[in-house]
Amino acid sequence: METKFLKIANGCAVSRSEIPYLPFTDFCDTALNIVKDGGKVVHYFAYKDDSVIKLIAVLRTDELLIATTDAPDSYPSFTTECEQFHMFEREIAEQFGINPQGHPWLKMVRYHPNYTEKPDIFGNDYNQDIPGNYDYYRVDGDEVHEVAVGPVHAGVIEPGHFRFNCIGERVFHLEIQLGYQHRGIENLLLDVENKRLPIIIESIAGDTTVANSTCMAQAIEALTQTDTDKGSKIIRTIALELERIANHTGDLGALSGDVAFLPPANYFGRMRGDFLNMTLLICGNRLGKGVVRPGGVRFSIDNDIRQELISRISVLEPQMQHVIDLLFETPSVRARFEGCGNVSTYDAEKLGLVGPAGRASGIQHDIRRDFPTEHYPDIDISGYAEPTCDVYARARVRADEIMHSINIIKSLLANEIETQTIDFGNYNLAPSSFVVTLNEAWRGELSHCVLTDDNGKIIKYKVKDPSFHNWNGLSMSLRDTGISDFPLNNKSFNLSYCGFDL
């Protein structure tokens, strides 16, 4: 398709002067047309270039497309035509005070003052430090009632506020207000010394440490024209897959716990730990903090560790398969999973769901296959998706991915892995450049964007967690569902609060 947007490649830097700088109407019309034709929004954000505020969009068809434009003070909301822009427009409004007129649900994302001198779009008083201090969507009626939950929840989990509009046990709508974990990461990244960058990135979302640090490393490598060796690509791939297995395993355990089937809940919980301990074996940290740095990896997988990993996996693989079988072949589990929390393929496409949540609703997209990085070009990732769109599908996708990831790791461990380990060194980034990196984190499409100015200083570091797309999927899944099925649906998505809140 001919387009005014520029085709770019995942993880390849381009000069900012190459990015089409369009009049706003062209930018708007082209972006909307691409998305209406089935394209997806990877990024849409505002940034300050000197004193001018600009908008940039990275869209995804079977390739990545980019363009930029000057940001107007207000403009007719894209969301009214393409729902996918919903959260992105709210974020732009919050960060830069740009008003998307007619946005169907314009409210704050993370609850902080904007980065400009403009008045706050939402009329918030930030001296009151409660994001939940907001006029929630209301449903009126004699028997309609609201259930408010959080920010502090009953379990050892992250904070967020959930507001259910119910009639009896039935949920009309679930409104989710996040922002409690907002740490100001994107702004912090603009001012810190290079040495702090990997540490902050690793702490965006601890359960996605490896994927976030891989996105960051690829971006820095592209902006410094650094190559990584084959061994480090393999080790990053192994670490990414271990992260995927550990988290999916934990989720299956949580799902069995929520349907009160305790044996697999405990077995999955224990096996999750065994996979985290494999990451510990490689790098000394259970969540993979310290593995990936720009230029490669800090830890080798020598033969002793390789053999140890192989032997641990050979014990765990059959156990994993047996517990998965136990879970899915138990009628009481199936009765709770099946038909619960549907998000139709139509809705999932409209919302732009990614990762296992998208694949459970029939969307095949997987960065490992569509825009592969690291060692993934050499790995066969077949297109797959579940048709049933329910909790069962979201559990099934995870189970299948666990077994698939185990096979990937086994094949990568079959041969010796030679790599030159690196340590973090200082660097200078290419001036006036742009790079976008995408990786398939365990929750789905994770992406970082870095823009530099004429001196190679970072002027915008944009992080997009897959949860940024998927939280609305959870809201949709709850419609017309019993409120008692909320925990089950919530675990079936298991989205990131801190990755979203940044």
Q: Which of residues 258-277 bind another protein (CB under 8 A)?
A: 263-264, 266-267, 269-270, 272-273, 276-277
Q: Is 202 in the site for another protein (CB under 8 A)?
A: yes
Helices 262-283, 230-258: inter-axial angle, 10-degree rounding: 160
Query: In the bound complex, what is the minimum distance in angstroms from residue 441's beta carbon to another protein?
Result: 14
**In terms of CB distance, is 58 or 201 closer to another protein?**
201
For the CB of residue 340, give the shortest distance to another protein in the complex, in Å: 23
Longest dimension (CA), the chain: 69
Q: 324 or 438: whose CB is closer to another protein? A: 324
Q: Return d(Cα 188, Cα 296) in angstroms, integer.
A: 24
Q: Do residues 169 and 467 lie in contact, with contact meaning Cβ atoms separated by under 8 Å?
A: no
Under rule CB under 8 A, how many of the chain's residues touch another protein?
A: 72
- Going by the DSSP 8-state scheme, the letter that residue 245 receives in this structure is H
* Number of residues in the chain: 502
Query: CB-wise, 130 or 139, nearer to another protein?
Result: 130
Exposed, middle or buried: residue 390 (CB in 10 Å: 0-12, 13-18, 19+)? Answer: buried
Q: Which is nearer to another protein, 303 or 411 (CB)?
A: 303
CB neighbours of 300 closer than 8 A, spacing ≥ 6? 231, 235, 417, 419, 421
Among 2, 135, 143, 156, binds another protein (CB under 8 A): 156
Contact mark string toward another protein, 301..330, x via CB under 8 A: -----------------xx--xx-xx--xx
Which single residue is written with the structure tokens 């999932």? 348
Gyration radius of the chain's alpha carbons: 22
Using CB under 8 A as the binding rule, whether residue 180 contacts another protein is answered as yes
Nearer to another protein, 123 or 155 (CB): 155
Q: Is 155 in the site for another protein (CB under 8 A)?
A: yes
- Quick one: which segment of 84-92, 116-124, 149-157, 353-361 binds another protein (CB under 8 A)? 149-157
Coarse DSSP helix, strand, coil percentages of the chain, rounded to the nearest 5 percent: 45, 20, 40
Name, in order, each residue with C-beta under 8 angstroms of 75's C-beta and a sequence gap of 6 or more.
Answer: 24, 28, 98, 99, 100, 101
Window contacting another protein (CB under 8 A); options: 31-39, 67-75, 109-117, 459-467: 109-117
Q: Among 19, 205, 215, 255, which residue sits at the site for another protein (rule: CB under 8 A)? A: 205
Between 280 and 430, CB nearer to another protein:
280
Residues of span 34-73 touching another protein by CB under 8 A: none
Per-residue binding string, another protein, 86-105, x by CB under 8 A, is: --------------------
Pairing verdict, β 64-70 and 6-8: antiparallel
End-to-end CA distance of the chain: 35
Interface with another protein, residue 112, by CB under 8 A:
yes
User: Which of 27, 47, 493, 497 is in the footprint of another protein by CB under 8 A?
Assistant: 497
Q: Distance between CA atoms of 346 and 155, rounded to whole angstroms? A: 33
Per CB under 8 A, 290 contacts another protein:
yes
Considering the complex, what minimum distance in angstroms separates the CB of residue 236 from another protein? 17
Q: What angle do CA 83, 459, 200 make, to 5 degrees?
A: 85
Among 91, 94, 158, 445, binds another protein (CB under 8 A): 158
SS3 501: helix
Residue from 1, 148, 190, 192 in contact with another protein (CB under 8 A): 192
Q: Decide whether 209 or 452 has the Cβ nearer to another protein.
A: 209
Work out how close the CB of 57 gets to another protein at its nearest, in angstroms, rounded to a whole number. Answer: 27
Query: Is the bond preceding residue 294 a cis peptide, omega within 30 degrees?
Result: no
Q: How many angstroms separate the Cα of 42 from the Cα of each of 10, 84, 85, 298, 340? A: 11, 10, 10, 30, 29
DSSP assignments along 138-171, one per residue: ---STTEEEEEE-SS-SSS----EEEEEEETTEE
Candidates 120, 122, 159, 369: give the one binding another protein (CB under 8 A). 159
Instruction: Kindly tell me which of 93 and 178 has the beta carbon lying closer to another protein.
Output: 178
Task: Name the residue nearer to another protein (CB basis): 64 or 276.
Answer: 276
| Ordered DSSP codes for 352-420 | T--HHHHHTTT----HHHHS--TTGGGS-------SS-SHHHHHHHHHHHHHHHHHHHHHHHSS-----
Cβ closer to another protein: 82 or 215? 215
Residue 501 Cα distances to 40, 454, 476, angstroms = 22, 30, 20
Which residues within the stretch 206-225 sit at the binding site for another protein (CB under 8 A)?
Answer: 206-207, 209
CB of 381 to another protein, least distance (A): 27
172 or 328: CB nearest another protein: 328
Q: Which is nearer to another protein, 204 or 238 (CB)?
A: 204
- Residue selected from 138, 196, 230, 457 as contacting another protein according to rule CB under 8 A: 196
> Can residue 331 be called a binding residue for another protein (CB under 8 A)?
no
The answer to whether residue 151 forms part of the interface with another protein (CB under 8 A) is yes
Residues 113-142 that bind another protein (CB under 8 A): 129-131
Q: Per CB under 8 A, which of residues 383..442 are in contact with another protein?
A: 423-424
Distance, in Å, from the CA atom of 330 to the CA atom of 395, rounded to the nearest integer, reads 14
How many C-beta atoms lie closer than 10 Å to residue 290's C-beta?
Answer: 19
